[in-house]
Structure 1
Amino acid sequence: MLKVFNKQPVFYIKILYNIHMSEDIKKILDYAIWAPSGDNSQPWRFEVEDNKIKVFNLPDKDNPYLNFRQSGSLIAHGGLLENITITAQHFGYEAEISLFPVSNDDILVAIVSLSKATNPQHDHLFQFIKQRHTNRRPYENTPLTPKQREDILRTPRELGFGKVQLVETGKEKQIVGRAGALAEIVILENKKLHEFLFCDVVWSEADEKKLRHGLYIKTMEFNSIQKVMFRLARNWLFMKLAIRPGLPKFIAKKDSKLYASGAAVGIVAMHGDSRENFVRAGRLMQRVWLKVTASGLALQPVTATLFFTQRILAGETENLLSLYHTDLMKVAYNDIKKTFGIQNETIAMMFRLGIAKPASARSSRISAEEKIIAIK
């Protein structure tokens, strides 16, 4: 017979603690999943055991041609982990992150261990996690304020890794805007890349609400003519015929002006291209994005040129990119490096930011509960 004198038995307290912890973890993950990912692919799943969250990568979720060696998905996981860190603080926990804890396991990205904070710290960026989104509208060229600029540029010091740089002159933005847009020529002129672009498109609001993943067409901010052309362009025969008169080059030229609009174009760079560094780059990018959102500015990633270049530098373009497209991407990447003054670092992300009208739509998310495969 168990006797209790003014105290709950230890095992009962532990059960209550675990139930409470489990509910808090669900709340934390409900915010974590609002991290950005390539074409809203959401390449993660979770296992929860006591105070630990195991975060797994789903390697087949993102575009295999752009997601070279899972770099895009790892950046997405970095954003997820930054959201976990910020949200854990909000609920009174400290999050200790162990990246790739099993050396030969590329699927297990991280184990996050939560413990009650002895001196709780609340990050003001928490309230902007669910507000953050991609805005593909034209941006105003209004300059950043000194406070906005400093807030963005000090982010690497806050996290203890990486580099964030901005270019703000018209000429610099034009150079990197054009370099970012050149990737669209490659995608639209290459049958394999063209097919993967359009297979990820979600064409209606009803499908978007049902699927809750993919590239929702309404977020593309197309005008009525662009919508018609985009629908025609999903047919490879039409696109193939449109290459000769220069439709892909025309689209890239228009988008280069779009990418050059705004207060600044920025990059996130790391010392090395390890899997850990791409995750860290994602954390850094997410924190910058949350700060941009908090300051009332819009942001759009511009990454295809960077991802193509990773594949080119690794010498893995066989049966994918033509010599012409390979040279095009090399020139574009060198223009980006030269403009930002990058020497040996790896540029993991590029983005534009500025004042813009609100986005027409946002992408949905698959719930955290559906992404948790086990609670032990």
Structure 2
Amino acid sequence: MDRQIIEKILEAAVKAPSGDNVQPWRFEVSQDWARIDLFNLPERDDSYYNYQQAAAYIAHGAVIENIAIASRHLGCMVKLKLFPEPQNPSYVASFEFESASAVDDPLYPAIFTRETNRFHFQDVQLPAEDAQQIIDSIKQVEGVKGYFVHDVKTVKTLAKVIMVNDRVVFEHKEIHSFLFDKIRWNQKQIEETQDGMPVGTLGLNPIEKLFFPLMRFWWFVDLANYVGLSRIIGAKCWYNCQNAALIGQVTVQKTDSLGFIQAGRALQRVWLEAARQGLAFQPIVGLPLLIHRAQENALEAFSETHRNMLEQAKQSLFGIFGIDQSETLAVGFRIGKCKSVAEKTLRKAV
């Protein structure tokens, strides 16, 4: 195989999203450049959300989708095998490449322009044709279902449900600590680590930027919650989401590694289609993954209040979207119009 083509495929692969940009992957390439092996690195993501590596496998699903899209576009036929060694769950996938005719894929350029936008979206609705293209974007991904809402009243109702996760982040010490461990506060940190989230990507307004550094200290957050800090942060989430042109959820039938990989592939396809249309996109993964943990009776160190909040959120999401109780929430997202994010996340070199 042509080394330059495989290197371009790898460049596309690492542009995949991951929780807090932890990049939980490692690649091995054969000497003849005809094979790539993809491995999960569990130590990269020890967040509370990553129960049984669900968050990591979603990220790997996005990597796999990027490789599939880039391969077609650059003139490769790829044979994908998921979990080639069943006894080794960290060996996620193998890809074997052969030369083929290039097939133009309109999603390929979006791999490199896709971004997470946590800012307040404009109050703009999508044309019906554009919304339908987003809805159709995941139909070829097996084992998942997509649910989409775009009418104004229902979007505002969903915004009140979605804000639960942001409240929990600032009321649960372990989740809070992981988040702030992944924030990069200056250019030196960004360049040294090449992972995590630059503070400029968090959607903070000028006043919030003044106080946000104090929130890295749990003692401050714990004290400030007595005067409603976590509720204010939840309200900010509601404010940002209630103008979304479209809010969606991806569900899976099977809550195993394959199911969450397929969810990641679906998420990436929706994201790339939104980016192709020049739309802003924010994944909403924390709440679905906490609800998944609750379904597995694995909410260790969660208070009864937080358990009840998650159960109410689950019932609301299932009811509003019309989701069958046999399905499991995997990932969510909001899509709309917004200015582009000036500061970008970096990726480690392959």
Q: TM tier, shorter chain?
A: over 0.9
Please give the secondary structure, in 2, of the residue aligned with 1:189. Answer: coil
Distance in 2 of aligned mates of 1:329 and 1:99: 32
Q: CA deviation at 1:313?
A: 1.0
> What's the counterpart of residue 89 of structure 2?
106
Is 1:324 matched with 2:309?
no
Is 1:183 matched with 2:160?
no
Aligned equivalent of 1:54, options 6, 31, 37: 37
> What's the counterpart of residue 135 of structure 1?
117
Aligned equivalent of 1:340, options 317, 321, 327: 321
Is 1:126 matched with 2:118?
no
* Alpha carbons 2:168, 2:306 under 8 Å: kept: yes
> What's the counterpart of residue 133 of structure 2?
151
Is 1:75 matched with 2:58?
yes
Q: CA deviation at 1:24?
A: 2.3
Amino acid at match of 1:111: S
Amino acid at match of 2:315: N
Amino acid at match of 1:104: Q
Q: CA deviation at 1:23?
A: 3.4
Task: Give the root-mean-square deviation of aligned CA atoms.
Answer: 1.4
Aligned equivalent of 1:249, options 231, 237, 240: 231
Distance in 2 of aligned mates of 1:76 and 1:176: 25
Aligned equivalent of 2:292, options 304, 310, 316: 310
What is the total number of aligned residue pairs between the two structures?
347
> What's the counterpart of residue 15 of structure 1?
none
Identity over aligned residues, as a percent? 33
Please give the secondary structure, in 2, of the residue aligned with 1:102. Answer: coil
Which of structure 1's runs of 4+ aligned residues deviate more than 6 A? none
**What TM-score, normalized by structure 2, do the two folds share?**
0.95
> What's the counterpart of residue 4 of structure 1?
none
Is 1:273 matched with 2:255?
yes
> What's the counterpart of residue 11 of structure 1?
none
Amino acid at match of 2:319: K
* Alpha carbons 1:135, 1:358 under 8 Å: kept: yes
Please give the secondary structure, in 1, of the residue aligned with 2:42. Answer: coil
Please give the secondary structure, in 2, of the residue aligned with 1:29. Answer: helix
* Alpha carbons 1:175, 1:336 under 8 Å: kept: no
Q: CA deviation at 1:122?
A: 2.1
> What's the counterpart of residue 30 of structure 1?
11
Say which one has the larger Rg. Answer: 1
Q: CA deviation at 1:360?
A: 2.5
Per mean C-alpha deviation after superposition, the further-off stretch among 68-77 and 220-229 is 220-229
Is 1:166 matched with 2:148?
yes
Amino acid at match of 1:150: Q
Per mean C-alpha deviation after superposition, the further-off stretch among 349-358 and 266-275 is 266-275
Q: CA deviation at 1:120?
A: 3.5
User: Unaligned 5+ residue runs, structure 2?
Assistant: none
> What's the counterpart of residue 271 of structure 2?
289
* Alpha carbons 1:174, 1:257 under 8 Å: kept: no
Once the two structures are superposed, residues 147-193 of structure 1 have per-residue CA deviations (whole angstroms, 9 ceiling, x without a partner) of 21221121233334422221112232122222221112222112222
Distance in 1 of aligned mates of 2:63 and 2:135: 21
Q: CA deviation at 1:314?
A: 0.8
**What TM-score, normalized by structure 1, do the two folds share?**
0.89
> What's the counterpart of residue 366 of structure 1?
348
Q: CA deviation at 1:90?
A: 1.9
Distance in 2 of aligned mates of 1:177 and 1:95: 40
> What's the counterpart of residue 64 of structure 1?
47
Amino acid at match of 2:108: F
Please give the secondary structure, in 2, of the residue aligned with 1:157. Answer: coil
